[in-house]
Structure formats: C-alpha cells, structure tokens
Structure 1
Amino acid sequence: MTDVASTPGPAERTAALLGELTALIVRHAGGTPVRKTKILDGVAITYADRPTLPVSAMSEPSLAVVCQGVKRTVLNGVPHDCRAGQYLVVPVDLPVTGQALEAGADEPFAVFSMTLDPAAIAPLLLETAPTGKRPALSGLAVSEATPGLLDPVVRLLRLLGRPDDLRVLAPGIEREILWRLITGDQGALVRQIGLANSSVARISRAIRWIRGHYDEPLRVADLAGLAHMSPSAFHRHFRAATSMTPVQFQKQIRLREARALLMAGPAEVAETGHRVGYGSPSQFSREYRKAFGAPPGRDAARHAGQGAGTESKGPIPVPRTHEASSW
C-alpha cells in the first residue's frame, strides 16, 4: 500500500527540483563571480555569486527559469522581477536591460534559459486542439514554474558531462520543455510564437525590419503594410508587444548600437550619432544621456574604467561577451 502521507506534494517537489537545478548550474557554470555557459544551440545556464550591474541586451524570443536569486529585466524603464521558482517568457525581440538582482556566495543566482524557435513550436501546435483563447500581447510574461516544466529541465542538465547522451537525448527533452510551455499558463502566448500569421509573428517581422534598418527613416504606414495590418491596429499591437511605439523602439535600438560602437574603441561622438541615424549631434547626446545617465563620451570612459577591473564586493559588471544573449 502506498503511504499517501509520504508522497511529496507539488510544493515539495518543486522545491526539490529547484534545489537540484541550482546544484547542477553551480557545478557546471560556477567558479567565477558571473558566468553564462552555452550548453547547446539556444540553451544556456547563468551563474552569479553576487549582484551584477545592469546590462543592455537584445532579448530574443526566449524562456528563462529562475532556480535561485532574482532576475530583473527592465523594458522601457519598467522593471520586471522574476524570482526563484518562476519563469519568464519573452515572445519577440526586445531591447532590455537585465541583471542578477539578488545573489550571494551561499545562495548564488542560477538561471536556465532557452530560445523559443517558431520552427520548433509550430509542429507541436498540430498536436493540440485550438483553445480559442486570444492572449493579451505582452512584452514580458512571468508565471510560476510547475514540476511538469522543471522536471525536463533537470533531466536536460543531468546530461551535462555526457556528450553522447546530450547529443542524442537533448532534442527530445527540449521538445518536452516546449510542450510544457504550450500547455501551461503562458501557453496561449507561446502558441502565438509558432503561428505564422499570428499578431506576434506579424509584429516580429516589423521588429526585424527596424533592427536591420535602424539608421534609416521610419514610416509606420510601411511597417503596418509589412505586418499586414492597418496602421491603427499595427500601432496598438506593437505597443502591446513591446510597451513602446515603433519610433521609441527604433530610438532604443539606435542608442544601444551607438553605445556598442563607443565601447568598442575610440570614436567621435558626432560621427557615432550620424552612423546610427541621428542628424543632430545635440539631439543624439541629449537622448543618449537620458537613456544611459551620462553623455556619450563620459559613459564610454566610465565603462572603460569598469572594464579595467578592480576587486569589488559590490555589484559587478557582466563581461561584454554575455551582452548579446538573453540575460
């Protein structure tokens, strides 16, 4: 006879899975103050033993499961905190700022992340009946992680250090993770990523155009045509998905590209502004300062000083090799 009293409930099982996930991430990504380790194409684990400074990044459609600590993601000035036992879904490419908000040597920051590929999601939609739900578009969505989602993540990380097993078994486990997302709290939103004609897919096409042509003039009517929407519907859906207007989105892309150019080496501020699409040097400097808290030249010098690296017990900068990823 099964002892019902000894059977762990969902809360106990979740806690056990999170504990194992954290231990696996520490084992395979620990050893330095902060480290993001790619384990497969589109799959990574992140570790930090202390809080980090905010890092600008373009976050692609992705899943992030916080195993320990607090992950803060700022979108258009609004912070979104994802805590241990929660997961974050990003449905479209977004310019965000991310950081490990809570982390320590005894309780390090530990996160599992995976890109959400429309081509991988689409076949799974054939296995489910339409729900009839029309999700409210949102740039970021946070939910509680269930044992059903955490279990395949644990099994995937258990394969680290066994390359043959990882190569053969990982695709099936990644598919299971996607299935748990599709059938979970954020399922309606994740489905939109895999549907070729969904509003998420249409807005994604417009976002890709802006990212590839950020230095060019932007006409909302042209973007609406690309998304096969009326201008008013496009503006509404774009703002819902990104929390920004198309013009504000383009501005953020321009400023982040300008910052990357300035951090890469010595550059004239006016020339950098021109390269990213600004016709007025004064407007470029004004908007850059508003976005990053300091004029372009001073901001670049400040980050160059941080890169020189002195030992600190406070928040640490994340190496620039990690900035292109979904933090």
Structure 2
Amino acid sequence: MNTLVPPLVIPGAPGNPLARLATLLAANAPYDGSFETCIPGVHAIRTSTASTELVHGLHRPALCIVAQGAKTVMLGGESYDYDPSRMMIFSLDLPIAAMIRQASVAAPYLSFRLDFDQERLAELILKAWPQGVPPVREGRAVYVAQAGEAIVDAAARLLALASTPDDAPLLAPLATEEIMLRLLRGPFGARLAQLGRIETRRIGKVVAWLRANFDQPIRIDDMAGLAHMSPSSLHGQFKSLTSMSPLQFQKTLRLQEARRLMLSTGMDANLAGQRVGYVSASQFSREYARHFGNTPTRDMSRLRNAGLAQAVSFSQ
C-alpha cells in the first residue's frame, strides 16, 4: 500500500481521536437530531434514547462513523451492526431501516456523516489506483469495516473546521480528500472504488429513476434499457448491490413514503396508498403489514401513542 502524505494539521483537543470526534460531534449537535455543518456534506448526529423501534428511510451514499453508542442498520433481510470500533459506507441511495441500540442522556449516540461527492470520488479513484482497481467479488452497496485511527483522526480534524468558517472553505476540501484517499487505499478501498465501475453507475441510474418515480408502474425491460443491460443482468447486478430486486426496491420506497405521509400529515391509508402508486387498497394494506408488522391503521395508532413521530426519516 502506498504511503500517504502526512495528515493535515488542524489545531484541536489532543488525545484519543475517537474521544475528540465525540466531543466535536456533541458540540455540533447540541440536542437530538441531524445537523449539517457549514462544511457541505458534513453532518453531526445525536440521539439520547435507545429504542427497539426501527426508523425507516432512504440513505444517500456516505461514510458514517459512530463515535459513541451503537446502531443496527437493516437492508432487505440483512442486518449490519456498528459501534465506535467500526464505520459504515453506503455507495448507493438505499432504503434502509435503522435502530439505535445504545444511547442515553449521559452518553448519547453520536455519529459523523460525510456525504460522498460522486464526481470528486471518481477523480480520486484514478489517483488512488492509477493502474486500475484490483478485481473484487460482487458485494453489497453497504458494508461495515473497522474505523482505523487515521480515518477517525481525519474526520475529527474535518469536523473541527466547522468552528472556523473562515478557514473551512480552504482547508475542508483537503481534509475531505484525505479521508477519501485513506478509504480508497485501505483494505476495503477496492470495494468503494466499485462506485466508478460502469455496471455500478448503470445500476445507480436505475436507482435514481426509481427514487424519482417510485409511484409509477415499472417494466424490467424499460429499466434494463435505461441501464443498457439485459433484463437478467440488471436483475442480478441490482440484487447483488442492494439485496433486493428492482420491484422490491420500488415497493420499499412506496411503503416508506406512505408511512411518512400518514404519520406527518394525518393522511388516511387509502389516500396514502393511492398517492404512492397502489391501485388496490387491500394490496397496499397487506404489503404494508408484511413490511412494518401492522396494518396501516394499527401502525399509525401505535406510533402516535408512543410519540414516535420520526419513524420515517429520509436522507439520514
């Protein structure tokens, strides 16, 4: 592995990088919620209560590092656990369910999120792998890896720039680039570099179309044409990356949006089902119950009685 240049030096608290990152996250997220800093794409997230309730939403391509607490993310039928010893990478827009497993008022869940700039990442892939990316087996578009000290330290230095808005425009791009290069040159960098593969970009086009048109009927042949792939190749590649077929992916998006509409606007189940593309109210109720564990009416009653107004959260 190539040796990177020494890390960018930004003044800040000395000591353990993970502890420093937690301190910075707490400062940038003064109460529960997700806070975008003055640095585009850099977010600080705090939650003070652990829960067994899954929060459903669409997660964009990003690096997430937990500095304190623990979280479980579910994609399709697969489950991923991560905590301060690990980080999670999302390389496509993915409909997920997540649960904070460890958090309290005294020790809240604290997480750093860096949204990926796809064009910049493509440029850095060429720098990190000038001779070409090593071949890797097909893998999911979400995965967990060890959060090495160098990555955590770079994330802390990047977040520290949020308190110096005069310096951030000049120095934040350098710290962001350092993080991306360390990821790409790390043990799982070839998997992240899959974002630059033609097949992955093609699947990304289908995902983007489904996200924008989830309420419309779809035909696999049309999706295959959009991706310039055969229907069988599209189905295999799509499921390899997302753990779902295109139709299952669309169904998940529809059900998440219907739940959001009912919970945030008070819309009734029949109208919510129609709004997201269902023709049959009974089919909507069956699929909703299968996905969320309760019929729409019972689910809304349970969530409102429990005060769970954020059971659906997009762009987490």
- Range of TM-score over shorter length: 0.7 to 0.9
Query: Secondary structure in 2 aligned to 1:72?
Result: strand
Give the drift of 1:137: 2.5
2:49 is aligned to 50
> Per-residue CA shift, 1:198-229, capped at 9, x if unaligned?
22211111111112221222111211121121
Q: Distance in 2 between matches of 1:225 and 1:209?
A: 12
Preserved CA contact (<8 Å) 1:235 1:246: yes
> Per-residue CA shift, 1:6-48, capped at 9, x if unaligned?
xxxxxxxxx9111111122123313x3x222111322101122
Pairs aligned (count)? 298
> Per-residue CA shift, 1:243-283, capped at 9, x if unaligned?
01111111111111111211232323222212211121111
1:100 is aligned to 100
The 5 Å alignment of 1:286-325 reads 286-307=286-307, 317=308, 319=310, 323-325=313-315
- Amino acid corresponding to residue 176 of structure 1 in structure 2: E
Q: Distance in 2 between matches of 1:108 and 1:271?
A: 38
Preserved CA contact (<8 Å) 1:141 1:186: no
The 5 Å alignment of 1:138-217 reads 138-193=140-195, 195=196, 197-217=197-217
Query: Secondary structure in 2 aligned to 1:298?
Result: helix
1:251 is aligned to 251
User: Structure 2 regions of 5+ residues with no counterpart?
Assistant: 1-14
Give the drift of 1:318: 7.0
1:20 is aligned to 20
The 5 Å alignment of 1:80-99 reads 80-99=80-99
Q: CA RMSD of the aligned region, Å?
A: 1.9
Preserved CA contact (<8 Å) 1:46 1:112: yes
Identify the match of residue 34 of structure 2 among 18, 32, 36: 36
The 5 Å alignment of 1:125-144 reads 125-127=125-127, 128-129=129-130, 130-144=132-146
Preserved CA contact (<8 Å) 2:134 2:190: no
Query: Secondary structure in 1 aligned to 2:303?
Result: helix
Preserved CA contact (<8 Å) 1:214 1:277: yes
> Per-residue CA shift, 1:263-307, capped at 9, x if unaligned?
232323222212211121111111111111221122223333344
Preserved CA contact (<8 Å) 1:73 1:99: yes
Preserved CA contact (<8 Å) 2:62 2:91: yes
Query: Secondary structure in 2 aligned to 1:65?
Result: strand
TM-score (norm 1): 0.85
Q: Distance in 1 between matches of 2:104 and 2:264?
A: 31
Query: Secondary structure in 2 aligned to 1:163?
Result: coil
- Amino acid corresponding to residue 242 of structure 1 in structure 2: T
1:218 is aligned to 218
Query: Secondary structure in 2 aligned to 1:20?
Result: helix
Q: Distance in 2 between matches of 1:285 and 1:137?
A: 33
Preserved CA contact (<8 Å) 2:263 2:309: no
Preserved CA contact (<8 Å) 1:135 1:188: no
Query: Secondary structure in 2 aligned to 1:148?
Result: helix
User: Structure 1 regions of 5+ residues with no counterpart?
Assistant: 1-14, 308-316
Query: Secondary structure in 2 aligned to 1:259?
Result: helix
Q: Distance in 1 between matches of 2:126 and 2:301?
A: 53
Preserved CA contact (<8 Å) 1:224 1:234: yes
Q: Distance in 1 between matches of 2:149 and 2:175?
A: 15
Preserved CA contact (<8 Å) 1:68 1:85: no
Preserved CA contact (<8 Å) 2:102 2:109: yes
Q: Sort the Cα spacing of 1:69 and 1:266 in 2 relative to 1 into closer, same or farther, 3 A.
A: closer
Preserved CA contact (<8 Å) 1:91 1:189: no
Preserved CA contact (<8 Å) 2:18 2:153: no
Q: Distance in 1 between matches of 2:264 and 2:309?
A: 15
Q: Distance in 2 between matches of 1:136 and 1:298?
A: 40
Q: Sort the Cα spacing of 1:135 and 1:118 in 2 relative to 1 into closer, same or farther, 3 A.
A: farther
- Amino acid corresponding to residue 297 of structure 2 in structure 1: G
- Amino acid corresponding to residue 185 of structure 1 in structure 2: P
Preserved CA contact (<8 Å) 1:56 1:323: yes
Q: Distance in 2 between matches of 1:267 and 1:49?
A: 29
Give the drift of 1:73: 0.7
Q: Distance in 1 between matches of 2:160 and 2:62?
A: 21
2:8 is aligned to none
